[in-house]
Structure 1
């Protein structure tokens, strides 16, 4: 198997990239659980053998999909990296629901993945928990930068509001859910 991995690696990343692109499209349109590995291989298009050489388990594919979203800035964390905004503006921008285009609002991919992999010890659920902890810490760091007296508490409150917006906007397929949470976030920031 190690020799096969080396052969795939030397041929380039075309197959791996196609698998990841196909998985991303399928996971975002029909959900992770509803998407089978055979369907990913067919959509890539690659053989099932190639798919399993790159991603021996579906858990590994899902974790890599989530990593891909992080690396490409397609998660809520992306706004926290924007240097053109002040720390307060970055925090408030967490409550702007991105335009889904023609499809439904999908919400937070980490929450979606955690729901579809409910076992807290599964690799996917553990990865989503780690990412949510990282997200909360980044919010706390921005709150601390603003000089809030209790950044851990306020950061956690803002992270919970952001997760709530992602969930409610998905459930109701309504991007305006963020407006109410933004007003709550502004009140929390003003009170600190």
Structure 2
């Protein structure tokens, strides 16, 4: 059986992603992870600290999956277009759950500065990836915004239609 910290984190990975931050209580995490309250607080001082661990692990997982999905692209254009296909794939795998970062961002107040800082950090890493690949700040910002809005609107409408349209827009932008 995994150690208590691992059980807490893996339980939080599922619950925060599926239920969100506000709908996941410490007691539920403790119960489902099969740990004591003392054990939980030995590893995490607060729900916010656990949320930060979740966000860091979720980013690592998501970035790794994106990298695998786009790894066989032969050109930057193909890699960028495949990144939109990745969103479609994630929607199939995760039933249009959307972006864990944006979901949590919508749930937490502004005074949870540490969580906001972590969300911004990971979103900036994604922006930097587009920027490094495209070597054009305006085009990379445009494509990043299409990418982020595709995640959000596909979750809202439970449809990949706007991802497909964003991908066509990106193709036009990159062909110019």
- Note if 1:43 corresponds to 2:32: yes
Change (3 A) 1:118 1:186: farther
Superposition CA RMSD, Å: 2.1
Question: Per-residue displacement from partner, 1:132-174 (whole Å, max 9, x unpaired)?
Answer: 1111011010002xxxxxx111111111001001000111111
Distance in 1 of aligned mates of 2:111 and 2:150: 23
- Note if 1:152 corresponds to 2:137: yes
User: Is contact 2:59-2:122 (8 Å) kept?
Assistant: no
Instruction: Specify which of 79, 86, 89 is matched with residue 66 of structure 2.
Output: 79
Structure with more helix by fraction: 2
- Higher alpha-carbon Rg: 1
State the 1:120 CA deviation: 6.5
TM-score by structure 2 length? 0.88
Q: SS at the partner of 2:159? A: coil
- Note if 1:141 corresponds to 2:132: yes
Q: What are the ranges of 5 or more consecutive residues in structure 2 without an aligned counterpart?
A: none
Distance in 2 of aligned mates of 1:30 and 1:79: 23
Q: What are the ranges of 5 or more consecutive residues in structure 1 without an aligned counterpart?
A: 1-11, 145-150
